[in-house]
Amino acid sequence: MLKYVNCDIVFQEVPNEVALAINISGCPCHCPGCHSPYLWQDVGDELTPESIDHLIATNGDHISCVALMGGDGDPAQVDLLAQHIHQRYQGLHVAWYSGRTVISRNIDISHFDYIKIGPYIRHLGSLKHRTTNQRFYRISDGQLEDITSSFWH
């Protein structure tokens, strides 16, 4: 079961999108230097299609994307939530931030518009650093397009 701690409208997590970032707890990655170690714990409210509907109803007039931040403990559930968003909210894009080095086999990339993979490694930096190990992909026609460089201003 996925749980979320909070959400916020953000402008930098997904290029050219106003995203509702939903912070999912229970992260198994535990990256040294993580900016959100409170998300390592199993805390918060259950993240279900119904709670997604409520969060979108509350913030939907202001967003173009829903960003699922985490969920590596249950990628199959992340996939189901992304599928729900795509089916119910035709105009919204879906992004997923994963700390894993590869996309889980439980993910159907057709349910997503963007996927970020890669753990945070302090000496390599975050997405905004050219030296980052993290990769940010746009998904179009079932293909992954690496758009990590869009973070390098």
**pLDDT (0 to 100) of residue 77:** 97
Q: Is the pLDDT of residue 41 over 90?
A: no
Token reading at 14: 């997904």
The predicted pLDDT at position 132 comes to: 96
- Domain range enclosing 92: 3-151
Structure tokens that stand for 76 in this block: 């199959």
pLDDT of residue 28: 85
- Neighbour-count burial of 77, counting CB atoms closer than 10 A to its CB (0-12 exposed, 13-18 middle, 19+ buried): middle
**Is residue 20's pLDDT more than 90?**
yes
Residue 128, phi then psi, degrees to nearest 5? -75, -5
- Return the pLDDT at 143: 95
% of the chain with per-residue pLDDT over 90: 81
Q: Does residue 35 register a pLDDT over 80?
A: no
Tell me the per-residue pLDDT of 67-117, one tens digit each, with 9 for 90 and over.
Answer: 999 999 999 999 999 999 999 999 999 999 999 999 999 999 999 999 999
Q: Decide: residue 116, CB within 10 A, 0-12 exposed, 13-18 middle, 19+ buried.
A: buried
Number of domains into which the chain is organized? 1
pTM of the full structure: 0.95
